[in-house]
Chain A
Amino acid sequence: MLGKGGKRKFDEHEDGLEGKVVSPTDGPSKVSYTLQRQTIFNISLMKLYNHRPLTEPSLQKTVLINNMLRRIQEELKQEGSLRPMFVAASQPADPLSDNFREAQPAFSHLASPPLLPADFVSTMPLESCLTPASLLEDDTFCTSPAVQHDGPTKPPPPALQPVKDSFSSALDEIEELCPAPTSAEAVAAESAADDSKTQPSESNIHKPEGLPESRTADSKLMDSLPGNFEITASTGFLTDLTLDDILFADIDTSMYDFDPCTSATGAASKMAPVSADELLKTLAPYSSQPVTPNQPFKMDLTELDHIMEVLVGS
């Protein structure tokens, strides 16, 4: 809450964000506008996800937060036609089952090229939004290392740029790889439509802890809380990024003697704590790490190795 000291500290930080609204078309102030928008989006998601009341949450509040999210989505959609995945995934769905039918078109959009980092606004670090280049250049992440899973045909996923701006956490870097695994997942999703209900719940290992409970509550509240639909719909944002796929997609598993089929589930439980923390970090309105633009992107195999070690617990 806004206690005196707390507020002051928060407010100093806020000064850069609040104050006059800048038009999204201004040059340098576009960055602060985008940052503000990102912050508000993250806060809104947190409000929908983390509220665990014993009583029914206020419908008015839920509706207002949903409207906020939708407005930001619309804006992002208008800013570039390159966000179909994001937008489709965010379409509010009616019953739980519909959500995943909605999500599938989202995945199919991965076939289209450039996905800007701002697409993954739910997991995207703020740092990416501070990078003008990522917003202005369409093809930043077009090229990919041809480290593809033996999946169906899909375009080269954006990833592994030797030079990339403003990624400071390893997880963020890893997420760049996600179009490859997610398109693989998308194809799997499309082909296994009847499994769609269960799939995201398993793959959403990086959801905050309380969410699995909310799923059962969701079905009960379905009629009275449209926000539930938003919750289930917005989990669509997160289904795009599953650490299983991200981490294991491009790794030569023979090195680690993993059985690809079991490794995903086996590692999932280990990954959960890591991923939840990381995700919460990206969802936090303020990253503690100052970002310098033009920080070289240092994703390489040594980083992957390190992460693997952590996960395997060696």
Chain B
Amino acid sequence: FLGAGGGNDIQWCFSQVKGAVDDDVAEADIISTVEFNHSGELLATGDKGGRVVIFQQEQENKTQSHSRGEYNVYSTFQSHEPEFDYLKSLEIEEKINKIRWLPQKNAAQFLLSTNDKTIKLWKISERDKRPEGYNLKEEDGRYRDPTTVTTLRVPVFRPMDLMVEASPRRIFANAHTYHINSISINSDYETYLSADDLRINLWHLEITDRSFNIVDIKPANMEELTEVITAAEFHPNSCSTFVYSSSKGTIRLCDMRASALCDRHSKLFEEPEDPSNRSFFSEIISSISDVKFSHSGRYMMTRDYLSVKIWDLNMENRPVETYQVHEYLRSKLCSLYENDCIFDKFECCWNGSDRQVEFFSLIVMTGSYNNFFRMFDRNTKRDVTLEASRENNKPRTVLKPRKVCASGKRKKDEISVDSLDFNKKILHTAWHPKENIIAVATTNNLYIFQDKMN
């Protein structure tokens, strides 16, 4: 059981950290997305340099029952290259915005990776055997003189060192004028959507030269543009249903059966503004940076700048739960606007679940600044702040909860708001689909934490 509910708070322990140690961060190494595959055996990261690194979990050692398998590098490949748009005289960044895994159907693994403009389907396959004993070729590949061949033999497969190959199988290009922020694979496992600032397109995984536009919010007159799409996701079970969030804090649920162009939403989720919290920055902090359905699809979670909200799909006028991630930043919004931190896009994720049952979607995780990340237990209503730092390096040491002191006298071990490092932000986190293992990305390092197993 996943330690959810019943007061069994998970005790998180440091397990591993991947990435460079030095403080000087190479721009290309900045992690831009983290995603477990459906079994949790593989963990993929994308970075600003357009590379994808996949880690594989070791098979659990039966004798070492105190820890789950470690993650080691399985494959590294260059997914996207920088491009130049000659028409606009602008570079197209190679940064990987999102990675989404397909469920495994055969020996190979497939994932979708996208930058601002192009989505690619990658096949990752293993090769651990190779044919030997050709008649016309030497082992090193040189051709033999046919006249020297006196006998024939059948080539056989012999084991070789494992080689993991990544090859691009499909390239879905030229369908987005604006920057792609989301991709989401449909529950039919045949189609997927890609969303940019103003449009959402529907693709078939087999067809690269055609996509269907299902949402278009571009106004006829661009000067009237006041709202953009920030994230989109398919419903986990209903293959005609998807949601998309906006920069004004709204979520629209659409049904593709209603019409070809889903410009009219079936449901609109929006919480009325709290007048006591109104400020110049109300709109900006209401912009939703991530939206994730719960495992059953009955709820969805949204992340805006200061909070995480849980919505019941049956109730449009307000969320059922709201969790404050770092409310102490509310009085610093002007500074955060000036240094652009207010535009940081934090993601959020649910705990893993070995069943598609609502009861198991109980813990929410999201990142913050100073390399802190937060977890909210929906059942106990307790929350915890933890830190991803190399100082807590010993495996199986339980992470110490952190606390930020908003104002007043700072207690021992508390950190004051003014001491927070806003350059150390945790934007991307992922939870193993079945176990209590989490991957937390700092700027250029990937931390893996596990719960303490007795």
The residues of B that contact A71 with a CB separation of less than 8 Å are 280, 283
- Which chain B residues numbered 177 to 223 have a C-beta less than 8 Å away from chain A? 177-179, 197-198, 221-223
B residues less than 8 Å from A224 (CB atoms): 88, 177-178
Q: Which B residues are CB-close (under 8 A) to A217?
A: 89
- Distance to closest chain B CB from A225 (angstroms): 8
B259: interface (CB < 8 Å): no
The verdict on B64 contacting chain A, using a C-beta distance below 8 Å, is no
Cβ-closest chain A residue relative to B93: A55
A75 to chain B, nearest CB (A): 10
Q: Residues 271-289 of chain B: 1 if any A CB is under 8 Å from the residue's CB, otherwise 0?
A: 0000000111001100100
Question: Does A55 lie within 8 Å of B332, measured CB to CB?
Answer: no
A221 CB–B CB distance under 8 Å: yes
Report the bound CA distance from A127 to B234 in whole Å: 52
Closest to B248 in A: A67
* Residues of A1-53 whose CB lies within 8 A of B: 1-4, 7-8, 10-11, 14, 17-19, 21, 36-37, 39-40, 43, 47
Contact residues of B: prevailing secondary structure: loop
Q: Which of B177, B334, B336, B341 is A17 in contact with, Cβ under 8 Å?
A: B334
Task: Given A56-B90, A61-B343, A63-B228, check contact A21 B247 (CB 8 Å).
Answer: no
What separation, in Å, do the CA atoms of A14 and B279 have in the docked complex? 15
- Does B143 sit within 8 A of A, measured CB to CB? no
Is there contact, CB below 8 Å, between B421 and A4?
Answer: yes
In the complex, per-residue mask of A60-96: 1 if CB is within 8 Å of any chain B CB, else 0: 1101101110111000000000000000000011100
Which of chain A's residues have a CB closer than 8 A to the CB of B280? Answer: 21, 36-37, 40, 68, 71-72
B418 contacts which chain A residues (CB < 8 A)? 4, 7-8, 11
Q: What total of chain A residues lie within 8 Å of the partner, measured CB to CB?
A: 45
Over the window 213-230 of chain A, the binary record of Cβ atoms lying under 8 Å from chain B Cβ atoms (1 yes, 0 no) is 000010011011010010
- Asked whether, in the complex, the Cβ of B247 is within 8 Å of the Cβ of A63, the reply is yes
Cβ contacts under 8 Å, B339 to chain A: 1-2
B197 touches A59 (CB 8 A): yes
Q: Are B343 and A55 in contact (CB under 8 A)?
A: no
Chain B residues lying within 8 Å of A220, measured Cβ to Cβ, are 87-89
Given the interface contacts A68-B284, A229-B222, does A56 sit within 8 Å of B179 by beta carbon?
yes
Task: Tell whether, in the assembled complex, residue B287 and residue A60 are in contact, meaning their CB atoms are under 8 Å apart.
Answer: yes
Tell me the bound Cα distance from A226 to B197 in angstroms: 12
Chain B, range 322-345, C-beta contacts under 8 Å to A: 331-341, 343
What residues of chain B lie closer than 8 Å to A221, measured between beta carbons?
Answer: 88, 90
- Set A10, A19, A56, A58: member contacting B343, Cβ < 8 A: A58
- Give the CA-CA distance A51 to B88 in the complex, in Å: 16
A54 adjacent to chain B (CB < 8 Å): yes
User: Are the CB atoms of B423 and A67 closer together than 8 Å?
Assistant: no
Does A293 interact with chain B (Cβ within 8 Å)? no
A1 touches B223 (CB 8 A): no
| B179 in complex: contacting residue of A59, A63, A226, A229, CB < 8 Å | A59
How many angstroms from the CA of A152 to the CA of B116 in the assembled complex? Answer: 53
Q: Is B92 an interface residue (CB 8 A)?
A: yes
CA distance A14 to B339 in the complex (A): 13
Q: Is A105 an interface residue, CB under 8 A from the partner?
A: no
Q: Roughly how many angstroms separate A80 CA and B264 CA in the complex, as a whole number?
A: 38
Interface hub of B177, B284, B333 (most chain A Cβ within 10 A): B284
**Top 7 A-B pairs, shortest CB-CB distance:** A92-B223, A2-B422, A226-B222, A59-B197, A226-B225, A21-B279, A55-B91
Query: B-contacting residues of A (Cβ < 8 Å)?
Result: 1-4, 7-8, 10-11, 14, 17-19, 21, 36-37, 39-40, 43, 47, 54-56, 58-61, 63-64, 66-68, 70-72, 92-94, 217, 220-221, 223-224, 226, 229, 285
- Known contacts A21-B279, A220-B87, then 4 further A-B pairs from the complex at CB < 8 Å, ordered by chain A residue: A2-B335, A56-B88, A68-B283, A285-B338
12 A/B residue pairs, CB under 8 Å, sorted by A: A2-B341, A3-B421, A4-B421, A7-B422, A18-B334, A55-B92, A59-B179, A60-B197, A64-B343, A68-B280, A221-B90, A229-B222
